[in-house]
Amino acid sequence: MPLEAWPPYQGWPNRPTWDVFTTLTDEETRQPLEALAPDAFRLRQWLEEHVQRFLKGQETPRPVELLLTHWATDPARRIDWSRVAAAQREGADCSLTPLEAAAGEALRPIEQGLPSDPSLSLALWWDGLARRWAEQPELRLRPSPLGALARCIIDSSLQAIDWQRLAQALRGE
């Protein structure tokens, strides 16, 4: 089950598709992507290969790093951390969204180190941790609950991409 439903965004099928188009169409990556645009499968394969390289701590084009850092940190703004913290305290998470439940699961092993204010400070805390995780290859290689959540979020975003629409946009259609 995906971590969240992705509604249409900015005239695109969903936000992950829009994110890929806007982030990866800079000077460094536009030409290789345009060369792949006639074939949505090759386009998908190219991005998935770079995602795997990134997760393994290997070098990837800077725009791919920016995209994946954005995806890893974006939930800091989309998760209702007050609900996650309340579910942690009360031990019941039946009303949480799948994304909130995944965040709660990632926080469970480290409850003692959590900030006390569940709303803003948890969002800032997650943003800082996710940003460090994304920017430091050695952290991406080390198993951790937060790394597992970041990987789930990246995977959920990757699965949501409308590859046909992305290929059409790169072809200028």
**Residue whose structure tokens are 């920016």:** 66
Q: What is the mean pLDDT of residues 30-43?
A: 82
Q: In angstroms, rounded to a whole number, what is the distance separating the alpha carbons of residues 58 and 42? A: 21
Contact 163, 16 (CB under 8 A): no
pLDDT averaged over every residue in the chain? 84
Q: What percent of the chain has pLDDT over 90?
A: 36
- Residue with more model confidence, 126 or 19: 19
The reported pTM is 0.82
- Work out the pLDDT band at 51, boundaries 50, 70, 90: very high
Interhelix angle for 145-160 vs 62-73, to 10°? 110
Instruction: Note the pLDDT of residue 1.
Output: 46
Secondary structure (3-state) at 37: coil
Model confidence pLDDT, tens digit, residues 66-86: 999 999 988 777 888 888 878
CB-CB contact of 65 with 54 (8 Å):
yes
Q: What average pLDDT does range 43-71 have in this prediction? A: 94
11-19: long-range contacts at Cβ-Cβ below 8 A with a sequence spacing of 24 or more? 12/162, 12/165, 13/162, 13/165, 14/160, 14/161, 14/162, 15/160, 16/71, 16/157, 16/158, 16/160, 16/161, 17/160, 17/161, 17/162, 17/165, 17/166, 19/67, 19/70, 19/71, 19/157
For residue 80, give every residue at least 6 positions away whose Cβ sits within 8 Å of its Cβ, in sequence order, or none.
100
Distance CA 137, CA 47 (A): 18
pLDDT at 110: 65
Q: What is the pLDDT of residue 99?
A: 84
